Amino acid sequence: MSMSDGPMTDGPMSDGPMTTGPTPARYETVLYEVTPDRVATITLNRPDALNAFDRQMCEEIADVWSQVKRDPAVNAVVLRAAGDRAFCAGLDVRKPFGQPDDIWNHDDPGEMLSPKWQKVWKPVVCAVQGMCTAGAFYFVNESDVVICSPEATFFDSHVSAGMVSAIEPIGLMRRIGLGDTLRMGLMGNDERVGAETALRIGLVTEIVERDGLWDRAHQIAATIAAKPSIATQGTVRAIWESLDRPYRAAMEQGLIYTRLANPAGMAEVAAQPPARREPEVR
């Protein structure tokens, strides 16, 4: 398996929305584009390395999250990956990450990769195909909507390599609970969670055929992006922050957010009423 950054040549790449404008030249490991429907699309672009992340990718994704936060033309995000073999294989262990000698100053890649760690409250829709393992859960754990293709598999390879699985399971437990997190962490490479099981345990919310996966992710993101961003960001922030608070404190904090954001969001809807349409039944 080559570890070089290559073009998106692994599998059909025709699915997904049309994009506007070229990817900024400074990004070599990811693609980033924004469409007129206020959706930003981030594509992990190291398919020859199973989209494993190295320090360069981590730094580039951190910069992308900063752009997402600052850009008023972005209301929602699609996070996806090039190729068919893997969404992400975690940390690229075939090259040094570049940690300092002082272990107390080591960086956790998750700080750069995870949207919530970067305080991005714009909703993130994650589309998973192929393998999703180990550090890939930095992306999945902190996305707001996760969908996958039928052949997607999820597993945690740490213990099979003799490593403690301690960081990714913290976020994973919030999605699927203690029992399934422990099983995934302890079985390592010897068991993979398929798409149907992922749906059953709440790791994903929908299974979509591979050739329609990117389109569906964009459709969900565009539907969200059409709503007032002050309302959707406030919703994301209130729900995620409630996980770190006692019940009553979370309720009180949520009430503050409604008082802060509701007047502006409701005024936006009144000024530009949304078009009526039949709701989907999921």
Q: What is the pLDDT of residues 71-98, one digit of tens each?
A: 999 999 999 999 999 999 999 888 877 7
Residues 37 and 156 in one domain: yes
Render 157-193 in DSSP notation, one character per residue: -TGGGT----SHHHHHHHHHHHHHHHHHHHHGGG--E
pLDDT band for position 19 (cuts 50, 70, 90): very low
pTM for this one? Answer: 0.88
Residues 153 and 70 in one domain: yes
Residues 198 and 258 in one domain: no
- Assigned domain for 171 exists: yes
Share of the chain above pLDDT 90, in %: 78
Total structural domains in the chain?
2
* Among 79, 30, 95, 80, CA closest to 59: 30
Domain of 36, in residue numbers? 30-225
Helix axes 229-242, 247-271, angle to 10 degrees: 170
Residues 123 and 241 in one domain: no
The whole-number pLDDT of residue 227 equals: 96
Q: Which amino acid is at 110?
A: G
Q: What is the pLDDT of residues 159-186, one digit of tens each?
A: 999 999 999 999 999 999 999 999 999 9
pLDDT at residue 280 is higher than 90: no
- Assigned domain for 233 exists: yes
Q: How far apart are CA 268 and CA 73, in angstroms?
A: 15
Q: Count Cα neighbours of 36 within 13 Å in the Cβ-side half-sphere.
A: 1
